[in-house]
Chains A and B, each alone.
Chain A
Amino acid sequence: MYPKRLWWLLAVLCLCIALYLGLGARGNWGFVLSFRANKLIALLLVAISVSTATVLFQTITRNHILTPSVMGFDALYLLTLTVLIFILGGQSFTQLPEIAQFIVNTLLLMGAALALFGTLLRRGGHDLFRMILTGIIFAGLFRSVTSFLQRIIDPNEFMVVQANSFARFGRVDTELLTLAAALTGAALFAAWRMRHRLDVLSLGDESAINLGEAPKSGMFQVLVLVSILVSVSTALVGPMAFLGLLVVSVARQITPVISHRILLPSAGLVSAITLVGGQMVLERALQSTMPLIVIVDVLGGLVFLTLLLRRKPR
């Protein structure tokens, strides 16, 4: 039953892609297509990275509410960006070649993400509310340091930070896109190869040990993958806030299973449909310049609240 639903999702995605590429294309087809294809690839990469990172994160934290973004990753991104601009100066930061900016950003973020999530998991263990609280406190801390630094730096530099502080899907440099695709591709491949182990890990530590998997090393490997996925996609387009939570919650409704063989593709497809379809409707149908992520954020925030309030006490 569920594999069939995956094919349906795939069909919807193909439709969205066709409309996104084809709708309202006038003039030089070759040029329009290559321009749109570039954006499309970026959208797909980000969509699948975010959904996969969220599923992985929820598997090792054993709940369906937490996501890397909720746990303070986005605030961490703004902090690293601000610190970078504070140290280098806005001028020299924007003058860095795009690819250098990307690499510096990604590396810093990966290190910071590993440290953040590692701490959260080690300290919070499997206590959901303690983890949420720690995440919120960390995020608050990062935000206050960020706004403190933003007060010190001059207004022009502040603009640079502002421009990067929410996700924008514009044209991405081709070289950059290739590098990002290679990195996320490798991480996604590794996650897919882990799919059966992830099923076992999601049963809980004791069951996993009994079945011959080591939860600690599994958790570490998953954290590395999550860090790569969120860092690359965030460095590419900006913070994604509630996107992961929204799409994974929807995917869990469509395919309510724990099997990652179904869940990973399902979440990836829902995520891709959300981004490509949403962008298509906004850009082509409504001719709007409103960033898609704003809408995703509102919806995702509502989902987060509902999940938290409806949570069955376990």
Chain B
Amino acid sequence: MIAIRDLNHDRDGKPTLREIDLTLQSGGVTALIGPNGAGKSTLLSLIARLIPLQQGQIMVDDLQIGVCANDVLARRLAILPQASDAAPLLTVRELVGFGRYPYHKGRPTAEDDEKVEAALATFDLLPLAERRLDTLSGGQRQRAQVAMTFAQETDYILLDEPLNNLDIAASRSLMRTLQDLARNHGRTIVIVLHDINYAAAYADQIVAMKDGRITHQGPAVEVVTEAMLLEVYGTSASVHHIGDKVVVAV
């Protein structure tokens, strides 16, 4: 369980997050949506201790962020930041291999190697395994980054706009993989999405943010409404129901 209490955060003296109280139960996919600048990335970065907490408390199970040891948390929670700055000289296999670092600290075992191969296979990267990152397309690089996060095999996975640059096949396949991890392996996944249709189709619950506050939380059918789109995004798109699915006409 991720439990966030009384979280406030300023960036450059400007209020960025205000009075965040959020509980995410273990298991399941949570989609975080909201307009640009709402504070989604800031919230994920705080949970993943990429930036220091200013006020409030975040617990990941029994681990308190800012207090527990860095390397213990690295085996419990992984994040894929919005703009990851991987070294261009790395090959895809080396990059994915870094996902195992929290376990082997530089001395990979046969088991670590297997897990790297499995991650490469899951994300269709085996044909690209020996290629250097700076020779890949944007989407291929993104897939390699996701595979590294996947190889870290943590209970909690935070992904900041992982669908960036991915084509429809790769996007759907990633979302299915995440769903499978959540349903069949008890993983807790928090994913920032801009495409509300992906959020509605694959997430177990949606959390909407605006101006540093959480405005909505619940299953897609409850959260994704024309009123919500107007309130959070200030845009009037129509929402349709097809069977038990909600779809936003764009």
Contacts and interface: CB of A to CB of B under 8 A. Distances in A.
A256 B247 CA distance: 49
Contact of B84 (A207, A257, A259): A207
B70 A213 contact: yes
A143 interface: no
Closest 10 CB pairs of A and B: A196-B106, A212-B74, A212-B71, A204-B85, A212-B102, A211-B101, A212-B70, A258-B87, A206-B81, A258-B89
Contacts of B74: 210-212
Interface of B: 48-50, 70-75, 78-79, 81, 84-87, 89-90, 94, 98-99, 101-102, 105-107, 152
Contacts of B49: 209
Given A196-B106, A206-B85, A209-B70, 8 more contacts: A202-B87, A203-B85, A204-B86, A210-B152, A211-B102, A212-B74, A212-B101, A256-B89
Interface string A186-217: 00000000011101101111110111111000
A196 B102 CA distance: 11
A263 to B, nearest CB: 10
The secondary structure that dominates the B interface is loop
Contact of A210 (B78, B87, B105, B106): B78
Nearest to B145: A207
Contacts of B102: 211-212
Contacts, number: 63
A57 to B, nearest CB: 16
Interface string A97-137: 00000000000000000000000000000000000000000
Contacts of A210: 48, 50, 74, 78-79, 81, 152
Contacts of B152: 210-211
A210 B106 CA distance: 15
A215 B95 CA distance: 19
Contacts of B87: 202-204, 258
A202 to B, nearest CB: 6
22 contacts: A196-B101, A196-B106, A196-B107, A199-B98, A200-B98, A202-B87, A203-B86, A206-B81, A206-B85, A207-B84, A207-B85, A207-B98, A210-B48, A210-B50, A210-B74, A210-B78, A211-B98, A211-B99, A212-B71, A212-B73, A256-B89, A257-B89
Contacts of B99: 211
A213 B152 CA distance: 14
A196 B106 CA distance: 5
A203 B27 CA distance: 30
Given A212-B71, A212-B75, A207 B106 contact: no
Contacts of B73: 212
A128 to B, nearest CB: 14
Given A206-B84, A212-B73, A213-B71, A200 B101 contact: yes
A208 to B, nearest CB: 9
A199 B89 contact: no
A6 to B, nearest CB: 17
Contacts of A197: 106
Given A210-B50, A256-B89, A258-B87, A203 B71 contact: no
A203 B98 contact: yes
Nearest to A256: B89
Given A200-B98, A203-B98, A214-B70, A209 B48 contact: yes
